[in-house]
């Protein structure tokens, strides 16, 4: 009976260790994949707003204050690869975007608080708070844009 109990205890220990290892691998993988794209905008880079939809056609530089707001809002945000995040139904377009440092940050065309950016590995999705999304939409509105634009 003692040998049987020891075998059950050893099996239980192996199962717990295996479960712990799987959880650790999942957490480590999530961290690595979440960090695939981190926003880094050059401090004094020009930021352009582009809004081309329906009868509105805007493609102009933002003010220094607006550009600073964009940088502060997006700085050090992390993007999740779209193939992990899933393809949002929000709708995105290079025509509804901020452009800086050779990157295009596409706003969701509806009211989803997310941005899509193309990286070397495909698209990444950046989550925003409702307040951050409102701040960015307000900059579009100041230049003639509007939401939703789908």
d(CA 73, CA 132): 7
What does the block give as tokens for 83? 């193939």
**Helical (H) or strand (E) element with 10:** helix 2-34
**Topology of the domain comprising 37-142:** Dna Ligase; domain 1 (3.30.1490)
- pTM comes to 0.74
Cβ–Cβ under 8 Å, residues 79 and 39: yes
Give tens-digit pLDDT for 64-122.
Answer: 999 999 988 988 888 888 877 878 888 899 999 999 988 899 999 998 999 999 887 78
> Residue 75 half-sphere exposure, CB side, CA atoms within 13 Å?
11
Is the per-residue pLDDT at 35 higher than 70?
A: no
List the one residue out of 57, 67, 70, 68 whose CA is nearest residue 144.
Answer: 57
């Amino acid at each position: 009976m003692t040998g049987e109990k020891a075998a059950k205890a050893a099996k239980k220990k192996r199962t717990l260790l295996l479960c712990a290892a799987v959880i650790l691998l999942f957490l480590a993988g999530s961290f690595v994949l979440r960090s695939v794209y981190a926003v880094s905008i050059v401090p004094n880079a020009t930021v352009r707003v582009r809004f081309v939809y329906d009868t509105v056609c805007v493609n102009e530089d933002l003010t220094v204050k607006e550009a600073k707001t964009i940088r502060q809002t997006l700085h050090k945000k992390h993007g999740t690869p779209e193939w992990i995040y899933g393809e949002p139904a929000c709708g995105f377009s290079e025509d509804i975007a901020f452009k800086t440092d050779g990157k295009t940050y596409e706003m969701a065309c509806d009211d989803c608080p997310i941005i899509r950016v193309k990286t070397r590995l495909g698209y990444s999705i950046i989550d925003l708070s409702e307040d951050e999304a409102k701040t960015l939409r307000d900059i579009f509105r100041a230049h003639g844009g509007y939401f939703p634009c789908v």
